[in-house]
């Protein structure tokens, strides 16, 4: 397997989802005048390596469970495509988790030894998402995992290792990013509805149907806006920024409703872009409030 295949296996396009909440946590720290560059950068590295490790683990475990067949509609998976052996993929997963833990150890200096429990939970859930005796993504719990690990945890603890406290606005923004990030998974599962159903992967879309997926996507926007309303009201002169985001979001949602199969890969990319865009909107508001 060459370097290009390894990069593809890491799924670099998904990494914006892990960077976005860290950016928001850092922007809030700047707003509250507690920003520290070193722990912020360590949070970036932890987020990236944890995401890559999770992607590699999903590649391995989905192949083992038969979820990545010849009819896969999403981007090619490394193990299923024969680019790499399952054993090599498992080793790569362990390597990335080791790097993640190494960077996480650096955060103990800033946030305290009790943060080691946060690291342990991150590692467990990175593997338990599609692996273990009760893979969470196969039992309708993927959305909860995204809410926590692409919203609540990264936003909250990026801020915490700099400020050593939590605030109401922090919690609101953490949930906002979590709700919005869920839509990346919603589109992924919406696209793979038939394949997941055959493989016994009981995502929320498989459990409740594709119409539910369309409404769930919209609900996550409303939840996001509700969580960030206190911040948006602070800068009404900049209201055009969230309105621009809503325009992007609505366009993507309409495209999702009329797309099928591989065409949904473009919707998936646009959804990830929207998450990053909103993270930048929130960060801009925080920096200039």
Single pTM value for the model: 0.93
Sign, Cα dihedral of 60, 133, 18, 100:
negative
Rounded to whole angstroms, the Cα distance separating 62 from 241 reads 39
What is the percent of the chain with per-residue pLDDT over 70, rounded to a whole number? 96
**pLDDT of amino acid 65:** 76
Question: Higher pLDDT residue, 130 or 182?
Answer: 182
Q: How confident is the model at residue 1 (pLDDT cuts 50, 70, 90)?
A: low
Question: pLDDT tens digits, residue range 81-115?
Answer: 788 888 999 999 999 999 999 999 999 999 999 99
Please say if the pLDDT value at position 237 is more than 80: no
**pLDDT of amino acid 258:** 94
Q: Domain 3-288 has what CATH class? A: mainly alpha
- Indicate the average pLDDT of the chain: 91
Please say if the pLDDT value at position 34 is more than 80: yes
**pLDDT of amino acid 179:** 98
Cβ–Cβ under 8 Å, residues 182 and 143? yes
Mean pLDDT throughout 209-229?
96
Provide the residue ranges of all domains of the chain, joining segments of one domain with +: 3-288
**pLDDT of amino acid 83:** 85
Cβ–Cβ under 8 Å, residues 99 and 55? no
Element (H, E) at 95: helix 86-111
**pLDDT of amino acid 6:** 83
Mean pLDDT throughout 10-39?
94
């Amino acid at each position: 397997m060459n370097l290009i295949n390894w990069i593809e296996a890491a799924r670099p396009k998904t990494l914006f989802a892990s960077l976005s909440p860290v950016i928001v946590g850092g922007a809030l720290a700047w707003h509250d005048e507690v920003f520290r560059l070193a722990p912020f950068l360590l949070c970036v590295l932890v987020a990236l390596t944890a995401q890559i490790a999770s992607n590699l683990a999903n590649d391995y475990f989905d192949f083992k469970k038969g979820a990545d067949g010849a009819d896969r509609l999403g981007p090619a998976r490394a193990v299923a495509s024969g680019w790499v052996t399952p054993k090599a993929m498992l080793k790569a997963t362990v390597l990335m988790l080791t790097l993640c833990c190494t960077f996480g150890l650096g955060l103990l200096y800033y946030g305290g030894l009790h943060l080691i429990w946060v690291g342990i939970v991150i590692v467990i859930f990175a593997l338990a998402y599609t692996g273990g005796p009760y893979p969470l993504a196969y039992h309708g719990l993927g959305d909860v995992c995204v809410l926590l690990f692409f919203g609540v945890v990264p936003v909250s603890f990026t801020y915490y290792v700099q400020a050593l406290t939590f605030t109401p606005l922090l919690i609101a923004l953490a949930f906002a990013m979590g709700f919005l990030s869920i839509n990346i998974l919603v589109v992924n599962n919406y696209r793979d509805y038939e394949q997941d159903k055959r493989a016994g992967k009981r995502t929320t879309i498989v459990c409740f149907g594709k119409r539910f997926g369309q409404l769930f996507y919209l609900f996550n926007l409303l939840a996001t806006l509700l969580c960030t309303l206190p911040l948006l009201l602070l800068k009404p002169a900049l209201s055009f920024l969230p309105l621009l985001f809503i325009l992007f979001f609505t366009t993507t949602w309409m495209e999702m409703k009329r797309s099928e199969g591989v065409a949904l890969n473009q919707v998936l990319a646009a959804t990830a872009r929207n998450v990053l865009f909103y993270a930048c909107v929130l960060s801009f508001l925080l920096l200039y409030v």
